[in-house]
Amino acid sequence: MARLEESLTRHGYAFVEDDEHAEIVRARFDDYRFQFMLTGEDLGVLQTRGRWSHSVDVSRKVEMVKLCNEWNMNRIWPKVYVRRESEGLLGVYGELAADFRAGALDSQIDSAVKCGLSTVIAFFHSLEERLGAELDDLDT
């Protein structure tokens, strides 16, 4: 975690530690919530996960799943998906994992962080472009 936090600091990114989970730090980028976490065997996998800033009514689940599947079929990363967050609302997520169980240079950690952020944000921007004027109706 110290090396991840050093990487975020090197890039000038503000973040907060998660009080309940020592292996997670949280941040906001372009108004999207992100978390960086260490998972897997010996906490050797760095996962960058972002949540889209809009919530979607569950009635639009099929449409949102199709948009995510289209992205996933045409790109290697990030993995994107829809998840039910409450009775009537869905959240849209993107995530990228980097396996560092064998070790990593600081430059590799930096690259994983930058790649995770840039590709997840690119997906969110793509969604916003595709949905256009419909964005105003999503969070109501």
23-37: b (≥16 Cβ within 10 Å) or e:
ebbebeeeebebbbb
Asked if 136 and 54 touch (Cβ cutoff 8 Å), the reply is no
Q: What CA–CA distance (Å, rounded) separates 50 from 127?
A: 14
Task: Please report, for the chain, the start and end positions of each structural domain, with discontinuous segments joined by +.
Answer: 2-138
pLDDT at 41: 78
Instruction: Share the mean pLDDT of the chain.
Output: 93
Q: Which fold is adopted by the domain 2-138?
A: Yope Regulator; Chain: A, (3.30.1460)
pLDDT at 61: 94
Closest CA to 58 of 40, 84, 31: 84
DSSP-assigned beta bridge partners for residue 84: 90
pTM of the full structure: 0.92
Strands (E), the chain: 16-17, 24-29, 32-39, 45-51, 56-57, 79-84, 89-99
Asked if 81 and 64 touch (Cβ cutoff 8 Å), the reply is no
pLDDT tens sequence across 59-97:
999 999 999 999 999 998 999 999 999 989 999 999 999
Residue 74 is encoded by which pair of tokens? Answer: 């045409």
Asked if 138 and 131 touch (Cβ cutoff 8 Å), the reply is yes
pLDDT tens sequence across 2-17:
999 999 999 999 999 9
